[in-house]
């Protein structure tokens, strides 16, 4: 069982021809609403890739909560650890997506910020995944409870306690986040994954690159959710015992598939899709 401690949002997505520059208004966009949040995305991604998954998180006591949890519930994620908090709104992400798939995101965390260490310290956690759209103190509490593999996606980039980094088996970041954390990423001996957008991803151990893989070529529709899919897939593969290079191939393949459909959670691939594209790409 993988326990994900993280955020739950409702994504409100405007897809248009271009992204606005500061002070610019862009029109002729299409509007859509999808369940999201990095914690929820990674929980559903791991579930679709074959893991048993429980999510610990928080939503508001409002009409957006049911919509935000809909695909998780339908997908078989255990939601017994999700709180509905009076006086808080369900988290919302406002997302602008351009025709080439690039995006800008503004997050209103709402109930996600109300998740506290006390909400996880009494939980039984074996393997764990966590993201920084909730407080670092809450993530640390969950990581200290975990008895197995601890995967931390250090996004969005922010200062975190060394004690949290020290608990990690895997740290995953993109290039921007890697630059923010610098040498601290490699100081505690965890496996480090750095995603490189369309160029794929690389794995590091003790600051030394041990694997690098480019993704399969796909028709990109929307990159929202690709990073969450990559992180979940890499975590699932390593927990299953795949060799590190094979796990990285599995993760970049899953991330590529997530780019072929719009929305975060609607785009998350099933295990059979990933396995099929793996066979086609690396014969």
pLDDT, tens only, 53-62: 999 999 999 9
**Alpha carbons 229 and 134: distance in angstroms, whole number:** 19
Q: Does 228 participate in catalysis according to the annotation?
A: yes
- Count CB neighbours of 144 within 10 A: 16
Tokens 């929820």 sit at which residue? 40
Other CB atoms within 10 A of residue 181 CB: 19
Cβ-based burial of 264 (10 A; exposed 0-12, middle 13-18, buried ≥19): buried
Per-residue pLDDT, 254: 95
Neighbours of 150 (CB within 10 A): 24
The pLDDT of residue 131: 94
- Return the percent helix, strand and coil in the chain, to nearest 5: 35, 25, 35
In the numeric block, which tokens belong to residue 277? Answer: 């594209």
* Residue 253, pLDDT score: 95
Class level of CATH domain 2-8+38-88+112-281: alpha beta
Which residues touch 40 (CB under 8 Å, ≥6 apart)?
Answer: 4, 6, 7, 8, 9, 55, 57, 68, 69, 72, 265
Distance CA(267)–CA(105), nearest Å, equals 17
Residue 145 near residue 123, CB atoms below 8 Å: yes
Question: CB neighbours of 23 closer than 8 A, spacing ≥ 6?
Answer: none
Of 94, 88, 145, which Cα lies nearest the Cα of 120? 145
| Close Cβ partners of 198 (under 8 Å, ≥ 6 residues apart) | 215, 220
| Ranges under pLDDT 50 in the chain | none
| Closest residue by Cα to residue 118 from 145, 138, 134, 136 | 138
Read out DSSP for 175-186?
Answer: HHHHHHHGGGGG
Only one residue has tokens 């997505």, namely: 13
Q: Pick the catalytic residue: 11, 119, 222, 228?
A: 228
Q: Give the strands of the sheet with 2-5, arranged side by side.
A: 78-85, 53-60, 2-5, 127-131, 150-153, 170-174, 191-195, 201-205, 208-213
């Amino acid at each position: 069982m993988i326990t994900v401690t993280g955020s739950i949002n409702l994504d409100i997505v405007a897809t248009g021809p271009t992204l606005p520059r500061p002070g610019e208004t862009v029109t002729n966009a299409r509007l859509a609403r999808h369940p999201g949040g990095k914690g929820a995305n990674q929980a559903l991604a791991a579930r679709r890739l074959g893991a048993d998954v429980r999510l610990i998180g928080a939503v508001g006591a409002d009409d957006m909560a049911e919509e935000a949890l809909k695909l998780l519930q339908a997908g078989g994620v255990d939601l017994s650890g999700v709180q509905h908090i009076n006086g808080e709104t369900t988290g919302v992400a406002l997302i602008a997506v351009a025709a080439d798939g690039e995006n800008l995101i503004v997050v209103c965390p709402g109930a996600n910020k109300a998740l506290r260490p006390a909400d996880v310290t009494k939980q039984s956690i074996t393997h764990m995944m966590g993201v920084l759209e909730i407080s670092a103190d809450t993530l640390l509490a969950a990581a200290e409870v975990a008895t197995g593999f601890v995967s931390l996606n250090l996004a969005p980039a922010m200062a975190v306690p060394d004690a949290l980094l020290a608990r990690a088996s895997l740290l995953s970041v993109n290039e921007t986040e890697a630059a923010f954390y610098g040498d601290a990423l490699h100081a505690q001996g965890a496996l480090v994954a750095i995603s490189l957008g369309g160029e794929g991803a690389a794995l590091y151990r003790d600051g030394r690159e041990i694997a690098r893989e480019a993704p399969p070529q796909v028709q990109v529709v929307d990159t929202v959710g690709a990073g969450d899919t990559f992180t979940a897939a890499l975590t699932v593969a390593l927990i299953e015992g795949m060799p590190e290079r094979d796990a990285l191939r599995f993760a970049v393949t899953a991330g590529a598939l997530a780019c072929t459909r719009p929305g975060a959670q609607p785009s998350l691939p099933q295990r059979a899709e990933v396995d099929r594209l793996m066979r086609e790409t690396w014969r």
